[in-house]
Amino acid sequence: MNKNVRIALLFLGLLFVWFLSGFVSDTQKKDQTSKKKAVPQSVQALNLKGQMYSPQLILKANTEAFRELKLISQVSGKIREIYVTEGSVIDSGETVCEVDAEDKFSKLDSAKATLEESKLIYEGAIELDQKGYQSDLAISQAKSNLLRAQANVDRLSLDIGNLNITAPFRAFVEEIPVEIGQVVSVGMICASLVELNPVKIVADVDFDDIHKIKLDSKVFYKTNNSPPRAAKILFISKKANEFTGSFRIEALVENPAMDILAGLPARLFISMEETLAHLVPASSILLSDNGNTIVKVVKNGIVNSKEVSVLGESESGFWISGLPSEISVITVGQNYVVTGDHVNVNITNN
């Protein structure tokens, strides 16, 4: 065998050995990988017991005055006096503006005198009629004059009673558009009043949530700069807004200091019916491949995924529903295990 043949055979032999060593190495690596995969993943879990929890519906809202009223003059005349100032708080029955009486009292005295005269004429006509000396037409005219005189007295008395324009409820004086000495006519505005105690909290509710709200639901109101205050639901709309599809609700908050102003942004916290729930760390809540909210639980060393609903949150985590009363929720390592995996679990009690 010549030298070239021997060299070729040697080369082929070395090549065969090299391939064989690589195959053995790959097999060993696969065996090692399989052995690694066969080692159960270690996780930590928390034993939880369900508690009765009242979830809250949090709504964006705004404040509105309980009532707004424009006081108008019911008589014509000159403004004689204004007894309040813009920004002041007035009580029910307090005079805001006064219209000058001018000659109204003298006109009333004259009308009363005419009324007395009309009464005497009518009574005399009745006496003559009883004696057969008076016609029915004369009696009818006397009665008409009497009624006209009475109506004139009543109208003038009403006008005098309306000279003082008073507040019908305790209110905040928002605006006074008239001045002393200004002549006003019937229907002109003397002042704009705003009632802020109580104050209304108004919110829009989606169709999915409107059926969860009752008139006796426990409600709290809060602004960014104030602590929560108890409220009471006053009104729940039965008709959706034709543009937004939402339903209007109104709640009342006592506001004796009138420190809650109309038109402020706010939030309404409405407590729902109690349900069984678990408080879990925020990190234990995951999303499934379908986009559903899940937590991973463990029982007898086997992992399972449970679909849950988030009801609310606290400083310690999230309140969720959808779990049995007692369960172990994986809190560490949940991202590295899937349903059906066998795990080494270190369980702590809540």
- CATH number assigned to the domain comprising residue 213: 2.40.30.170
Which comes out higher in pLDDT, residue 8 or 150?
150
How many distinct structural domains can be found in the chain? Answer: 3
Q: What confidence category does residue 259 fall into, taking pLDDT thresholds of 50, 70 and 90?
A: confident
Instruction: Tell whether the model's pLDDT for residue 341 goes beyond 70.
Output: yes
Burial level of 107, CB count in 10 A (0-12/13-18/19+)? middle
Q: Is residue 179 part of a domain?
A: yes
pLDDT in tens, 218-242: 999 887 777 888 999 999 999 998 8
How far is it, in rounded angstroms, from Cα 115 to Cα 156?
13
| Predicted TM-score (pTM) above 0.75 | no
Containing structural domain, residue 231:
57-65+197-271
Q: What is the DSSP letter of 342?
A: B
Closest by alpha carbon to 321, among 287, 347, 285, 291? 285
Closest by alpha carbon to 178, among 95, 94, 85, 104? 85
Burial level of 192, CB count in 10 A (0-12/13-18/19+)? middle
Please check whether residues 161 and 182 belong to one and the same domain: yes
Please check whether residues 148 and 235 belong to one and the same domain: no
In this prediction, residue 127 carries a pLDDT of 72
CB atoms within 10 A of CB 116: 11
In this prediction, residue 140 carries a pLDDT of 79
Closest by alpha carbon to 204, among 250, 238, 243, 242? 250
State which of 123-127, 209-213, 346-350 shows the largest mean pLDDT: 209-213
Residue bearing tokens 């016609």:
135
Least confident range from 11-25, 149-163, 202-216, 317-331: namely 11-25
In this prediction, residue 130 carries a pLDDT of 67
Instruction: Tell whether the model's pLDDT for residue 272 goes beyond 90.
Output: no
- The terminus-to-terminus CA distance of the chain in angstroms comes to 83
Please check whether residues 135 and 84 belong to one and the same domain: yes
How far is it, in rounded angstroms, from Cα 50 to Cα 326?
6
Q: Is residue 316 part of a domain?
A: yes
Q: Is residue 280 part of a domain?
A: yes
pLDDT in tens, 124-167: 777 766 666 556 667 778 888 889 999 999 999 999 999 999 99
In this prediction, residue 85 carries a pLDDT of 94
Task: Give the end of a domain, one of 271, 297, 328.
Answer: 271
